[in-house]
């Protein structure tokens, strides 16, 4: 793997919100050709992002419900 490929992978991981520790571990697995290790790291980070997304969606739903109730009360 050349330096440009490594830089692109690191940038992709940064853009995905990965921290320095995860990036370092991923790159180490990459150099060792540890495919399963790389997949486990990415799957774990994806789960974390998805959990955060669900938490934020629940907060948005709460706000939407409050707005709905306020509009309903003011239209009577």
| Residue listed under structure tokens 């969606």 | 57
What residues contact 17, with CB distance under 8 A and at least 6 apart?
A: 45, 49
pLDDT at 44: 97
Residue 7 to residue 25: CA distance in whole angstroms: 15
pLDDT at 66: 97
In the chain (76 residues long), the average pLDDT of successive 10-residue segments reads 87 97 96 94 98 98 97 84
Domain boundaries, the chain: 3-74
pLDDT at 10: 97
pLDDT at 43: 98
């Amino acid at each position: 793997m050349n330096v440009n490929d490594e830089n692109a992978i690191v940038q992709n991981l940064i853009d995905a919100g990965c921290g320095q520790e995860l990036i370092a571990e991923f790159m180490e697995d990459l150099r060792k050709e540890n495919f399963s290790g790389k997949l486990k790291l990415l799957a774990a980070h994806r789960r974390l992002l998805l959990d955060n997304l669900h938490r934020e969606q629940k907060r948005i739903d709460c706000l939407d419900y409050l707005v709905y109730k306020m509009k309903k009360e003011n239209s009577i």
